[in-house]
Amino acid sequence: MQEITCKLLVIGGGPGGYVCAIRAGQSGLDTVLVEKAQLGGTCLNVGCIPSKALIHAAEAFHSAVGFAAEGGSIGISAGPPSLDFGGTQSWMDGIVHRLTGGVAGLLKGAGVKVIEGSARFRDGKTVQVSSVTGEQLVRAEAVVIATGSEAVALPDLPVGGAVISSTEALALPDVPRRLVVVGAGYIGLEIGTAYAKLGSHVTVVEAEERILPQYDGDLSRPVAARLKALGVEVLLGAKARRMMGDALLVEVEGGGERHLRADKVLVAIGRRPRTNGWGLEELALEMDGRAVRVDDHCRTAMRGVYAVGDVTGAPMLAHRAMAQGYMVAEIIAGGRCAWDRRCIPAICFTDPEIVTSGLSPMAARDAGIEARSGTFPFRANGRAMTTGRDDGWVRIVARADNDLVIGVQAVGVGVAELASEFALALEMGATLEDLASAIHPHPSRSEAVQEAAFKALGRGLHL
């Protein structure tokens, strides 16, 4: 068996793993990265990137259909559009290949040795890799576990046939005529909304009493209204049971049942850390449920063994994994770093989009913080009006005693591009006066941030 020794071994080539490996290589560390599938992990290959491409294509088609039907209201008319979904999929694949190819190039440029294969721990310093070229033994001074996460399955709805996960949903050869989505979290609603815009009849089944239960109701209500406008049927307090022929059996509130006929049933009830298949049982790690427990340096309970990204639990976000991976590389290279983040922004790419950063008013209250907030609606924002979509708002939450900003939330078209301003405000310790005094360009949706700060200060201008 071939043996390799290195300073750092990274297991997993997703956002956390490849960023860690690139930075380590740039710092002169002898680094090996093992990935059993494609570089870029779930995010680049079957998650964040292809789903956002599908969302964009769906919105473009939906807008074209709308213009053909009633575009005269803004002086534009067009003929009925047609959809070549195979062409859409080819375009999506091209984006993925460009990005994954870019990651491979960056790793090579940083001097990182990439092994395609499955890694399994023998002990905390030794990993056996099964690859197409045979078995290899890698011995490392430090190891980073970046194995990511996997979709949660329902025992009575295993993936296969008509039942699909988000991975299959992003690679369908045709737009399903009838799509049932089990789970009204961000994954289910992002994909479900996209297919509704492409022409599917979409039904969403959610066990909770409202959609997007991880967000507060003020943020989810505009999304619920939009789903209704798009013709998406939403069944709340409903539980998916099993397939019966070409129909999904659903138990609804009150003990009744419905049979939902479907060409495809997307199960999207969440994700969990991927802890199987890489030799966890050979290590003496501490766990938080299914997640690997780490400290503020991403160190596990074993010396020289680190973990980053989804395998360490929530929030399962690519940008969190990247920040952790970069920090760990700096630490192993001799730098002084610690995980001290005031804010990890989260974006839900529904229609309209949702952004959350820091504390909501309710979360501040639960934490015993006396806070005040200001909200500004996009219906009073000139730029939003000129796009034809002025639903949603921006809300700023600040401490009542010193006006320190502790949270910013928004819902609306395009608010994802405001997320960085929200995060920067919290990381830099901005006050309401800082946001109110910063000149925001006109006309832009970002003006709603400034206006919300004025509102929280009791000096609202345009409302």
Q: Write down how long the chain is.
A: 463
Ordered by start, the domain boundaries in the chain are 2-45+90-150+272-332, 163-269, 346-456
Instruction: Label residues 12-47 b or e (16+ Cβ within 10 Å = b).
Output: bbbbbbbbbbbbbbbbebbbbbbbbebbbbbbbbbb
Q: Which residue in 398, 359, 351, 396 sits closest to 375, CA to CA?
A: 396
User: What's the CA gap between 403 and 456, in Å, rounded?
Assistant: 9
Please report the pLDDT score of residue 292 as a whole number.
98
Please tell me the pTM assigned to this model: 0.95
Non-local CB neighbours of 151 within 8 Å, separated by 6+ positions: 165, 166, 167, 267, 268, 270, 271
Rounded to 10 deg, the angle between the 186-197 and 48-70 helix axes is: 40
The whole-angstrom distance between residue 125's C-alpha and the CA centroid of its chain comes to: 32
Residue that has been written with the tokens 């859409």 in this structure: 88
Averaged pLDDT, groups of 10, the chain, 463 residues long: 94 98 98 96 96 97 84 73 96 97 98 97 96 92 98 94 97 97 98 98 97 95 98 97 96 92 97 97 97 98 98 97 98 93 94 97 96 98 95 98 98 97 96 98 97 96 88
Rounded to 10 deg, the angle between the 15-26 and 85-109 helix axes is: 30
CATH number for the domain formed by residue range(s) 163-269: 3.50.50.60
Which sequence positions are flagged as catalytic? Answer: 442
Q: Which residue in 437, 352, 445, 366 sits closest to 407, CA to CA?
A: 366
Fold adopted by 346-456: Enolase-like; domain 1 (3.30.390)
CA dihedral 250, 254, 256, 262 (to 10 degrees): -30
Identical topology for domains 2-45+90-150+272-332 and 163-269: yes
Please report the pLDDT score of residue 52 as a whole number.
97
Please report the pLDDT score of residue 122 as a whole number.
96
Non-local CB neighbours of 450 within 8 Å, separated by 6+ positions: 435, 436, 438, 440
Non-local CB neighbours of 224 within 8 Å, separated by 6+ positions: 210, 211, 234
Please report the pLDDT score of residue 72 as a whole number.
57
Please report the pLDDT score of residue 132 as a whole number.
83
Q: In what order do the strands lie in the sheet with 371-377?
A: 346-348, 353-358, 405-412, 392-399, 371-377
Please report the pLDDT score of residue 142 as a whole number.
98
Q: Which residue in 13, 23, 21 sits closest to 44, CA to CA?
A: 13
Contact call for residues 333 and 28 (beta carbons, < 8 A): yes
User: What's the CA gap between 159 and 173, in Å, rounded?
Assistant: 17
The whole-angstrom distance between residue 403's C-alpha and the CA centroid of its chain comes to: 30
Kindly report the CATH class assigned to 2-45+90-150+272-332.
alpha beta
Residue that has been written with the tokens 């999304």 in this structure: 223
User: What's the CA gap between 363 and 407, in Å, rounded?
Assistant: 10
The whole-angstrom distance between residue 452's C-alpha and the CA centroid of its chain comes to: 26
Please report the pLDDT score of residue 242 as a whole number.
97
Structure tokens at 151: 């979709």
